C-alpha cells in the first residue's frame, strides 16, 4: 500500500524529500496490528504539528487504523490539524482527495466500511529493484478472535490471475528476480472467484515467466494447505521450499478460544507431512503466548511441541488486547509478567533450535541471491531460499578477489560458519 501511495503521489508531480522540515505533504500509512501502533502515530503527529504550522504542510493519514472509529474520533478531538484521513478501501482515491484539499482546503474524511473494489493498474513506486511483493488477495474471512484484520480490511477478495500474471511479467521485464506473493492467507487464493486458479495453479503459471527465479508466498493458514499445494512447492523449481505457517498455538483449548480452524492434531500431522515430503523444506511459524485463559499446562504443551517440531524460524508474540475483537472481552486475561516470562522462554528455546538447524548447513552448498554488501565492504550480503526479506537472517559471503559480484547475481556457495541467525559462506 505504501508503494502504491508513493507511486500515485509521484505521478502527481511530488518528489520525495529526506528532510521532513521541507515537506509539502506528509502521509502516514498506519497498520493497527503493529505493536504500539497507536502510540507511534500520535507521537509522530505531535512531532509534525510544528511543521504544519510553519509551512502549511498537508497531513494525510491512511491505512487500517483509520477503519477504527475510536481512532478517527481521537484524531478529530486531539489532532484536528490533519487534512485527510482515508481508509483501506479508498486508498486508490488518494490523488482525488489530495487534489480536493489543495483546491478547497476543507478537511476530508474518506472512509467506507464496505469492502473496497480491487483497483488494478495503480502506479507503484518500488524501493527495491530485485525483489517485489505482489498482493494476490485482500481481506480475510478467518475471524481469529484476537485479530482486527477482518474488521478493518474486509472479506477475502482475490485478484484475477491474469492481472497478477501481467504485473509479474512487467516486473520480470524490469529485471526483478524474486516475487513474494502476499495476502493475509494466501492458501485461500482464488476460492472466492468461480473458475479462477487456486494458489498451486497460480504458482505454476507464474513459474513459466522467464527471468523470475524465486517465488514465495506469505502466509499459509495451516488448515488450508492441501496436497496440491505441497506437490507444487515440492516439484516446482522456482517455488522456494519455504512455508510460513502461523500456527499460533498447539493446545486445542486455546486454539478453540482463538477461533482457529486447526486443532493440535492436524497441525502436528501437517508439519510432519511437509518434512517427509519436501526435502530441505524450511518451516517458519508464529505463536502467541498469554492468550486469555492460557494455563501453565497449555503453555507447557506449546513449549514441548516447539521442542519437538524444531521449526527453522519462529516469531513469538505476547497477546495484547485489541479493542473491537471478541478476545478483548474474554475474562482470564494473563498477567503481563507471566506473558513476558512465557515469551522469553519460547524465544530462548527457539534461538537454540534455529542455531542448531543452521549448523547442520555447514559444509553444504546453497544458492544465494546477492543483495548488497556490509558497510566495511568485507562481505557481500545475500539471502538463500531459506530467508525472507525483513523477516529472516542474511548470508554473509566473502568475495573471491577475481570474481566480483553484482547485486542481483545468484551464486552457489559453501556454508562455512553460522552466527545466531545468519550463515557465513564462501
Ligand atoms: Fe487475522 Fe490472520 Fe486470523 Fe485472518 S487468519 S483473522 S489475518 S490472524
Using an 8 Å Cβ cutoff, are 272 and 311 in contact?
no
155-207 pLDDT, tens digit each: 999 999 999 999 999 999 999 999 999 999 999 999 998 888 999 999 999 99
Q: Would you say residue 284 has pLDDT above 90?
A: yes
Cis peptide before 408 (omega within 30 of 0): no
| Cβ 149 under 6 angstroms from ligand 1 | yes
Span from the CA of 147 to the centroid of ligand 1 (angstroms)? 6
| Cβ 288 under 6 angstroms from ligand 1 | no
Q: What is the pLDDT of residue 365?
A: 93
Q: Report the C-alpha gap between 379 and 400 in whole angstroms.
A: 10
338-396 pLDDT, tens digit each: 999 999 999 999 999 999 999 999 999 999 999 988 888 888 899 999 888 777 777 88
Chain centre distance of CA 346: 21
| HEC assignment per residue over 368-420 | EEEEEECCCCCEEEEECCCCCCCCCCCEEEECCCCCCCCCCCEEEEEEEEECC
Length of the chain: 426
| Mean pLDDT comparison of 150-159, 212-221, 315-324, 368-377, highest-scoring range | 212-221
- 401 Cβ contact list (under 8 Å, min separation 6): none
Least confident of 15-24, 145-154, 159-168, 399-408: 399-408
Q: What is the pLDDT of residue 107?
A: 86
- 230 Cβ contact list (under 8 Å, min separation 6): 273, 274, 277, 278
| Cβ 251 under 6 angstroms from ligand 1 | no
- 402 Cβ contact list (under 8 Å, min separation 6): none
Please give the DSSP secondary-structure letter assigned to residue 133: E
First and final CA of the chain: distance in angstroms?
37
Q: Report the C-alpha gap between 417 and 100 in whole angstroms.
A: 57
Global pTM value: 0.89
Q: For atom 3 of ligand 1, which residue has the closest CA? A: 144
Q: What is the pLDDT of residue 401?
A: 64
Q: Would you say residue 35 has pLDDT above 80?
A: no
**How sure is the predictor about 400, in pLDDT bands with cuts at 50, 70 and 90?**
low
| Cβ 389 under 6 angstroms from ligand 1 | no
| Cβ 220 under 6 angstroms from ligand 1 | no
Please give the DSSP secondary-structure letter assigned to residue 333: P
| Cβ 184 under 6 angstroms from ligand 1 | yes
Q: Would you say residue 242 has pLDDT above 70?
A: yes
Q: What is the pLDDT of residue 167?
A: 96
What are φ and ψ of residue 37, in 5° steps?
Answer: -60, -40
The stretch 109-124 carries a mean pLDDT of 83
What is the percentage of the chain residues whose pLDDT exceeds 70?
Answer: 98
Q: Would you say residue 228 has pLDDT above 90?
A: yes
121-154 pLDDT, tens digit each: 888 999 899 999 999 999 999 999 999 999 888 8
The stretch 5-10 carries a mean pLDDT of 95
The beta strand positions in 309-356, using DSSP E, are 313-318
Vertex 1 angle, CA 150 and 27, to 5°: 110
Residue whose CB lies within 8 A of the most ligand 1 atoms, among 138, 143, 144, for a mutation test: 144
Q: What is the pLDDT of residue 420?
A: 76
Q: Report the C-alpha gap between 157 and 164 in whole angstroms.
A: 13
What angle in degrees, to the nearest 10, is found between the helix axes of 264-277 and 227-235?
A: 30
Paired with 379 in beta bridges are 398
Using an 8 Å Cβ cutoff, are 95 and 4 in contact?
no
| Cβ 186 under 6 angstroms from ligand 1 | no
Q: Report the C-alpha gap between 99 and 350 in whole angstroms.
A: 50
Count CB atoms within 10 A of the CB of residue 212: 19
Q: Which atom of ligand 1 is nearest to the CA of 219?
A: 2
Paired with 289 in beta bridges are 318
Closest CA to 220 of 196, 189, 195, 249: 189
Residue whose CB lies within 8 A of the most ligand 1 atoms, among 147, 189, 254, 328, for a mutation test: 147
Q: What is the pLDDT of residue 395?
A: 82
Residue whose CB lies within 8 A of the most ligand 1 atoms, among 64, 150, 223, 324, for a mutation test: 150
Amino acid at each position: 500500500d505504501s508503494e502504491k501511495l508513493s507511486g500515485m503521489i509521484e505521478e502527481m508531480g511530488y518528489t520525495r524529500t529526506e528532510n521532513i522540515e521541507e515537506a509539502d505533504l506528509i502521509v502516514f500509512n498506519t497498520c493497527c496490528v503493529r505493536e504500539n501502533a497507536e502510540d507511534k502515530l500520535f507521537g509522530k503527529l505531535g512531532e509534525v504539528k510544528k511543521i504544519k504550522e510553519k509551512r502549511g504542510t498537508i497531513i494525510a493519514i491512511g491505512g487500517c487504523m483509520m477503519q477504527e472509529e475510536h481512532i478517527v474520533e481521537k484524531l478529530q478531538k486531539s489532532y484536528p490539524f490533519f487534512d485527510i484521513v482515508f481508509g483501506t478501501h479508498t486508498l486508490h482515491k488518494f490523488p482525488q482527495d489530495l487534489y480536493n484539499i489543495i483546491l478547497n482546503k476543507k478537511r476530508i474524511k474518506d472512509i467506507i466500511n464496505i469492502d473496497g473494489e480491487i483497483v488494478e493498474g495503480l502506479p507503484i513506486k518500488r524501493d527495491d529493484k530485485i525483489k517485489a511483493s505482489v498482493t494476490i488477495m485482500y481481506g480475510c474471512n478467518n475471524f481469529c478472535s484476537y485479530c482486527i484484520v477482518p474488521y478493518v480490511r474486509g472479506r477475502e477478495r482475490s485478484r484475477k490471475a491474469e492481472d497478477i500474471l501481467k504485473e509479474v511479467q512487467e516486473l520480470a521485464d524490469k529485471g526483478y528476480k524474486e516475487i513474494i506473493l502476499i495476502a493475509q492467507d494466501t492458501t485461500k487464493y482464488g476460492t472466492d472467484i468461480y473458475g479462477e486458479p487456486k494458489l498451486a495453479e497460480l504458482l505454476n503459471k507464474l513459474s513459466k515467466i522467464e527471468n523470475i527465479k524465486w517465488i514465495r508466498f506469505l502466509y499459509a493458514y495451516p488448515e488450508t494447505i492441501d496436497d496440491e499445494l505441497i506437490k507444487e512447492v515440492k516439484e516446482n523449481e522456482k517455488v522456494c521450499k519455504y512455508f510460513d505457517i502461523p500456527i499460533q498455538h498447539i493446545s486445542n483449548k486455546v486454539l478453540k478460544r482463538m477461533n482457529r480452524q486447526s486443532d493440535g492434531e492436524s497441525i502436528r500431522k501437517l508439519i510432519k507431512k511437509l518434512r517427509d515430503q519436501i526435502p530441505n523444506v524450511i518451516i517458519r511459524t508464529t505463536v502467541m503466548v498469554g492468550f486469555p485463559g492460557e494455563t501453565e499446562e497449555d503453555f507447557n504443551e506449546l513449549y514441548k511441541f516447539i521442542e519437538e517440531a524444531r521449526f527453522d524460524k519462529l516469531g513469538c508474540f505476547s497477546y495484547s488486547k485489541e479493542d473491537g475483537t471478541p478476545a478483548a472481552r474474554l475474562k482470564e486475561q494473563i498477567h503481563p509478567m507471566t506473558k513476558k516470562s512465557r515469551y522469553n522462554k519460547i524465544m530462548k528455546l527457539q534461538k537454540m533450535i534455529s542455531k542448531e538447524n543452521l549448523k547442520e548447513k555447514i559444509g553444504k552448498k546453497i544458492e544465494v541471491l546477492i543483495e548488497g554488501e556490509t558497510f566495511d565492504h568485507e562481505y557481500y550480503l545475500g539471502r538463500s531460499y531459506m530467508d525472507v526479506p525483513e523477516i529472516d537472517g542474511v548470508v554473509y559471503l566473502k568475495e573471491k578477489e577475481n570474481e566480483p559480484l553484482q547485486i542481483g547475481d545468484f551464486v552457489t556457495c559453501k556454508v562455512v560458519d553460522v552466527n545466531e541467525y545468519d550463515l557465513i559462506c564462501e
